[in-house]
Amino acid sequence: MRKNILITGASSGLGEGMAREFAAKGCNLALCARRIEPMQTLKAELEAAHPGVKIFIRELDVCDYEKVFEVFRAFRDDLGSVDRVIVNAGMGKGASLGTGHFAANRQTAETNFIGALAQCEAALEIFRAQNSGHLVTVSSMSAVRGGARALNVYAASKAGLRNMTEGIRADMIGTPIKVSCILPGFILTPINSGLKKAPLRVDLKTGCKAMVKAIEKEPAEAKVPGWPWVAVGLAMKVLPLSVVAKMT
């Protein structure tokens, strides 16, 4: 069992939901996000519900790249070791290119890809020294095809993360270090609560249970929830772009 788990973007949404699921399984947690107050509340709640679980929290903007390394190393020292890192922090701001929203598109690209790169570097530095660990990146079903409007940059950044994760996995072949990429479908979170089109969306608890179940199997890649997103992913690869655009 991977006992000590580090989760980024843990102040809300998928990060908070996964923290709840892992705490219920008796895992120690290292949680970080830009907002410290929600994590303080979460820490107190989880420690009361699960007295045997150790929970550490730190404020972190994943675009503060030097601090990513500092925080990950500090969590390793807190816990003694880190068994699994879940690169979850992400952003969904943006709009169609050329419509005056470069700042938002750039912020999404930097957070979802360069910020994720920093997290993967910091995690693997620890895992290589330990000669063990499980790196998990949270991509998106949006990574399967290009997305219209607000998904222009979001989908591209998540596709880049998916591809980078595969490359890391290639590097780790033959080592004790495992690498997984999770592609969530539409799970109700603050990042997508305003979407008018969210077919097959599930509630946060259902989605996070499915994510944790998939993560613990340590697959190369998993689309979650498996039904219907495995089938949807296959369809997305072959449908005309005009049809895919209408789905987003």
Task: Name 22's Cβ contacts closer than 8 Å, sequence gap at least 6.
Answer: 5, 7, 29, 212
Expressed as residue numbers, the domain containing 33 is: 4-247
pLDDT in tens, 68-93: 999 999 999 999 999 999 999 999 89
**Residue 239 class from Cβ within 10 Å (0-12 exposed, 13-18 middle, 19+ buried)?**
middle
At position 196, the amino acid (one-letter code) is K
Helices (H), the chain: 13-24, 36-49, 65-79, 102-109, 115-130, 151-171, 204-216, 226-238, 241-247
Above pLDDT 70, what percent of the chain? 93
Mean pLDDT value of segment 153-159: 96
Q: 229: domain CATH number? A: 3.40.50.720
Q: Which has more pLDDT, 245 or 143?
A: 143
Question: Has residue 239 got a pLDDT over 80?
Answer: no
User: Residue 232: its pLDDT value, please?
Assistant: 79
CB 184 within 8 A of CB 224: yes
Q: What is the model's pLDDT at position 170?
A: 98
pLDDT per position as a tens digit, 183-207: 999 888 766 555 555 567 788 999 9
User: At residue 166, does pLDDT exceed 90?
Assistant: yes
Instruction: Quick: pLDDT tens for 202-236.
Output: 889 999 999 999 999 999 999 998 888 788 778 77
Number of domains within the chain:
1
Distance, first Cα to last Cα, the chain = 38
237-244 contacts at long range (C-beta below 8 A, 24 or more positions apart) = 237/144, 237/145, 241/145, 241/146, 244/145, 244/146, 244/147
pLDDT of the residue at 190: 64
Residue numbers annotated as active site = 154
167 vs 175: CA distance, rounded Å? 14
Contact 17, 23 (CB under 8 A): no
Residue 246 above 70 pLDDT?
no
The predicted model gives 11-30 an average pLDDT of 97
- Would the pLDDT of 17 be above 60? yes
pLDDT at 248 over 70: no
